[in-house]
Amino acid sequence: MDLRAELLKSIWYAFTALDVEKSGKVSKSQLKVLSHNLYTVLCIPHDPVALEEHFRDDDDGPVSSQGYMPYLNKYILDKVEEGAFVKEHFDELCWTLTAKKNYKADRNGNSVVSHQDAFKLWCLFNFLSEDKYPLVMVPDEVEYLLKKICMAMNVELNSCELEDYLCQEPQGQGGLTVWQLLDMVNSGWFLRGIEQEAVSMAVEEVYQEVIEDVLKQARSPQGYLWKKGQLRRNWSERWFMLKPSVLSYYMSEERREKKGSITLDKHCCVEVLPDRDGKRCLFCVRTPARTYEMSASDTRQRQEWTLAIQMAIRLQAEGKRSLHKDLKQKRREQREQREQRKAAKEEETQRLKQLQEEKERKLQELELLKEAQRQAEILLQEEEQQRRQQHEEMQRTLEIQLREAEQARASMQAEMVLKEAEAERQRSRILELEAMQQRLQEALQQEVKARQDEEAVRYAQARLLAEEEEKLKQLMKLKEEQEEYIIKTQQEKQVLKQEMENKNKCLEEAQKQLEEVRVNRQRVDQDVMAAQRKLRQASTNVKHWNVQMNRLMHPIGPGDKRTVSGGGFAGYQPLLSQQDSSLR
């Protein structure tokens, strides 16, 4: 068993003991104290910073076992070194926490084991329990432990009573808890008439053998071994204790003063020596560095010690550190093999049962098939008889039908003659229809050709129509241009008419001025003389003024754009002069 797994089992009990409300969580202050104590008993350097940091007061509430595991693994279990601490002190710490809450003596107050023996049984339970939580011990391991205790007391265990007791006791997870085991031991049902001291000695022996890996030790003061010194070569009585890797010897059985130890490995051996120097039942342990000589009280004790030491040397050669760990693993493998065999046997029984059921089912099916076959034979006979009757009836029916067929044949032959004549007529009719079809095809071809010619004519007409439409468009365009020209001409005519009206107005104004001149003639007579002189001077211009006057008096035709120059009274001056000359 791994050291970490062993430590976790004991720590699990301490954690559950602190879980007062059984909620799976423990307050941080309690875990802080527990961690501090684990640092102490496991001889690990304290890390107060990590401890305070991990368990500082905040609002997160209590911590579950899963929440505590990271700190436990990182700061405690990863730093543990095997042999650097006393395992018993660590177990006592965890036992003290869990026993205070869970362990109760016999209900009647008559406890068979003491509190210290209960602690050792708790350690034995942790060692032999399964590696699953919550921890339980399977019935086979319970029987093994009780047998070991009974053998230490030279008492035979009643396996039938144990089996009855285990059947009556409620078992969770397939085994007993440590508290159920202690209640069973304290009940005294398998230790009737045995004193508490004997039970305590037996528990101590089993504890040393299983937990402390003690392979062999003297059981009484008369069984002390004598050891020969290396320097003074004298013989001294010592209390020896054998473990798989070391043979230790003490001053007394209390093991308070250790005198030395012999380290065992695969290079060591044990030999039986002849009697000499007044000592009998001699044997020695040879190591690469030294040879240790010892003397037993009798031949049987020497044989027991030599066999035990040889077994320890063999364990070291095979690389096994603990005999009982190896035995426990073998028992576990045997249980698993038994379970597998049991499961295989149950599976085989189930399979045989299924085969038997299948066989019975097939037999039933066979009986049903036989019955069905008999019924089928009966039905077959009935069907055969029915077929014979049907065959006879069918034969009679066929004979009747044959006679009727002969009669029908004669009538059909007569009909055939008629049909042949009708067919001849039909053939002639078909020939006529074929000739008619030929003529129709020729007429159809002519009609198709005529339609093609008609299509060509229609195409030519469509082309001519397109050309006429194009010419019509041109004529329409010309018509539009003419209309635009007429509109333009009319607009010009209106402009000329307006100009002529303007000129007529001017003429009327000139006539009015002429009337005014005539009215004012008398007033200008006084100036005539002066004007005659001026008129003579302007005689050279008479022709010119006459031309202008003629133009003014000439009617203005349409389209004539002549303008009147020298308007006003000056334009009529030559006419006045001419009239004045005629008057004279």
Q: Quick one: pLDDT at residue 512?
A: 86
CB contact at 8 A, 113 and 185: yes
Q: Quick one: pLDDT at residue 107?
A: 52
Tens digit of each residue's pLDDT (9 = 90 or more) over 431-445: 989 888 888 988 888
Q: Quick one: pLDDT at residue 268?
A: 92
Q: Quick one: pLDDT at residue 283?
A: 93
CB contact at 8 A, 187 and 195: no
Q: Quick one: pLDDT at residue 57?
A: 57
Tens digit of each residue's pLDDT (9 = 90 or more) over 262-275: 988 888 999 999 98
Per the prediction, the chain carries an average pLDDT of: 81
Give the pLDDT band of residue 571 (cuts 50, 70, 90). very low
For the chain, how are helix, strand and coil distributed in percent, rounded to 5? 70, 10, 25
* Residue 257 region by backbone torsions, left for phi larger than 0, else alpha for psi between -120 and 50, else beta: beta
The helix or strand, by DSSP H or E, that contains position 228, with its residue range, turns out to be strand 225-228
Q: In 276-322, which residue ranges form alpha helices assigned H by DSSP?
A: 299-317
Separation of alpha carbons 334 and 336, rounded Å = 5
**pLDDT exceeds 60 at position 330:** yes
**pLDDT exceeds 90 at position 19:** no
pTM above 0.85, yes or no: no
Give the pLDDT band of residue 572 (cuts 50, 70, 90). very low
Sorted by sequence, the CB contacts under 8 Å of residue 573 that are 6+ apart come out as 545
E strand map for 219-370 = 225-228, 235-242, 246-250, 258-263, 269-273, 282-286, 291-295
Tens digit of each residue's pLDDT (9 = 90 or more) over 23-75: 878 888 888 888 888 888 988 888 777 777 777 655 455 677 777 888 888 88
For residues 579 and 244, which has the higher predicted lDDT (pLDDT)? Answer: 244
Q: What is the mean pLDDT of residues 470-493?
A: 88
Tens digit of each residue's pLDDT (9 = 90 or more) over 230-244: 887 888 889 888 887
Question: Closest Cα partner for 65 from 18, 105, 110?
Answer: 18
Tens digit of each residue's pLDDT (9 = 90 or more) over 384-399: 999 899 989 898 999 9
